[in-house]
Amino acid sequence: MNQGLVGNRAHYRDIFNLFAVQGKITRDKLEEMFQRVRLNPSPEEMEKYIQLVFENRNYATFDDFLKLFKMRCVSHEYTSEEIFKGFLLLSDNERRLHISKIEELIKEQVKDYRERQFLMEHMSHFTDENGWVNYQEFVNSSFY
């Protein structure tokens, strides 16, 4: 499993375990999970998530569940190279990027409040105590 997910893995496992029985979740539990965290995807989006996670089975494992988080980060199909170029454009002279710049960009570009909250929560996992984003951890977690 990708080492880039290590920082978030415990957080994701906690969420998964709230709904899992014997290390597996069902479609109904995934839908319940989305409702509980107020991510109300359209029926089309939900079907896409279900196909990704369940792959024609009646259950999903934790590793299957992790695919959701990777998918949401790359749903616009940006490559890691494109993300890196964006990171460089926003970063300072030392190639460091502060979370406040990302927050400004998200507020400006993302209209849906829930999606903005999701993105900021996701980015917080890659941000140190001073607000600097660890680009490599972010890309590893999101693309591999």
Query: Does residue 18 surpass a pLDDT of 50?
Result: yes
pLDDT tens readout for residues 22-33: 999 999 998 888
Give the 3-state secondary structure of residue 60.
Answer: strand
130: CB partners within 8 A, 6+ apart = none
Query: What is residue 69's predicted lDDT score, i.e. its pLDDT?
Result: 65
CA angle 68, 73, 76 (to 5 degrees): 110
pLDDT digits (tens, 9 = 90+) for 121-141: 888 888 999 999 887 777 776
67-109 confidence digits (pLDDT tens): 776 654 444 555 667 677 777 777 777 878 899 988 888 888 7
Provide the greatest CA pair distance for the chain. Answer: 51
Residue 1 predicted with pLDDT over 70: no
